[in-house]
Amino acid sequence: MSQQIEPVHAPYTGGEPFEFGTHSNDFLLHREKALATETFTVRVPAGRAVPEHVHTDMEQTFVFISGIGAATLRRGGDVREHRCRPGDTLFVPTGWHHTVAAPGIEGCVYVTVNAFVAEAERIGASATEHAELAAAGFRANTAATAAAVAAEPDDAALLRCAEAMFRSDQDAARMWPQDFTQFDATLTGDPGSYRVRRLGPFEYVETVTPVPRVLDTALADRLHHAVDGMLPLYVEGSQSPLSVKPPCSSSDLDVLLVVESAADVALAHKALQALETVRGDVPVPLSPGVVHAQWLGLPNFYSALRLDPGSPDRGWWTADPAQRRAEVARRQGEGLKILHGPAYVREVLDRAHAELSPSPPTRLLPEPPARPPGAVSRGNRPE
């Protein structure tokens, strides 16, 4: 009797995980439930790689979902390298050794479709059996593959992680990175060379030229003293010494008042009014906003620095570029650890809603010249 094959529908976040140590395969369609194929999601953590290996019984197609994949294919002396962004497809024929590394802090996710070759002997009768056989080979080959992963993320990778959105899967078991755009510039370009602009429903990339930062310690002192200790005041965005995206001629100065309770929201109203008194001292548009303290630990707030003269953050104004980049990578890495717990993220969101509503601080002041102040969101991305 021929095998009865049934249709299968599965979200790419809903696979059955198999952990290799170096990466994970989440099985969406097991080979034993199909005649000639299987499908799984591959999750490669930051700074790791799928160890190099080869298949003799299948062809593979990779469809990249998020992050950047550094793929290397080799057959004899023929070596081919590909930088794979979300939406890209990579076909790997039988007989080609291959590896995919995730040099970015946010890691890399792609969907693999295996197509079995009819005349070849299939290795592993089930998806799990094949994975167990592969795991033994991966353990022996991990050290050789590690060299393929970049030792340090570049500025484009750091910014990509900061700009990424994260969503929980349908079971709220894991947070998945969602690249906010698929522009080549934003995925791989020099952060100082472009800005993403919006006009109605359209997005486009505009070339810009970096300019010096206007926020020195003297201006930071004036902003801090204007608030007079009512609430912690931070700089965030391109004017921060930690930002990997330098300011351009259209950049403003983003400052954040940090609240932890409903009582702080009332203080935020007064603090925002106080900042109005020094707006004329700022040579670029001033954009004050209000955020919850717990948000500062998330990757997209990596550049937030406290303006209090007594804060250790003041040291970043005089730190060298290598120290700043290392700190950015550290902050984003810690932020990604937070995102590994969807329940905690939900708690942060619920607490912010409870404490910042029903009087959103975004409506406390009239619009400044550049854009309205308010709690920073992905639709109000800081310059």
Are residues 255 and 307 in contact, defined by beta-carbon separation less than 8 angstroms? yes
Mean pLDDT of 27-32: 95
What does the pLDDT average to over 30-47? 94
What's the pTM?
0.76
Entry field: residues in the chain: 383
- Rounded CA-CA distance 42/50 in Å is 9
Residue 380 pLDDT greater than 60, yes or no: no
The answer, yes or no, to whether residue 363 has pLDDT greater than 50, is: no
Taking every pair of Cα atoms in the chain, the longest distance, rounded to a whole number of angstroms, is: 83
Q: Do 57 and 121 form a contact (C-beta atoms < 8 A)? A: yes
Question: What pLDDT is recorded for position 92?
Answer: 98
Q: What is the pLDDT of residue 323?
A: 95
Structure tokens at 74: 């080799």
Distance CA 207, CA 18 (A): 43
Q: What proportion of the chain, given as a percentage, has pLDDT over 90?
A: 57
- At 215 the pLDDT is 97
What token pair was written down for 177? 């990175």
| Cβ atoms within 10 Å, residue 383 | 22
* Weakest-pLDDT range from 89-98, 145-154, 196-205: 145-154
Interstrand relation of 69-75 and 97-101 (parallel, antiparallel or unpaired): antiparallel
Pair 158, 328: CB distance under 8 Å: yes
Render pLDDT for 120-157 as a digit per residue (tens, 0 to 9). 999 998 999 999 988 887 765 655 554 445 456 777 77
d(CA 298, CA 309): 24
Give 93 or 163, the one with higher predicted confidence: 93
Q: Which residue has the tokens 């007989």?
A: 95
Q: Is the pLDDT of residue 93 over 80?
A: yes
**Amino acid 198: pLDDT:** 83
Structure tokens at 224: 């801090």
Share of the chain above pLDDT 70, in %: 86
Residue 197's CB is within 10 A of a number of other CB atoms, namely 12
On average, the pLDDT of the chain sits at 85
More confident residue, 287 or 378: 287
Q: How much is the pLDDT for 367?
A: 40
User: Which comes out higher in pLDDT, residue 84 or 359?
Assistant: 84
Q: Are 335 and 327 in contact (CB under 8 A)?
A: no
Q: Using alpha carbons, list the distances in angstroms from residue 377 to 9, 295, 297, 310, 382.
A: 33, 11, 15, 29, 9
What average pLDDT does range 67-88 have in this prediction? 94
Render pLDDT for 326-362 as a digit per residue (tens, 0 to 9).
999 999 989 888 887 778 888 888 877 777 665 444 4
Q: What is the pLDDT averaged over residues 308-314?
A: 96
In this predicted structure, what is the pLDDT of residue 344? 81
Lowest-pLDDT range of 175-179, 234-238, 368-372: 368-372
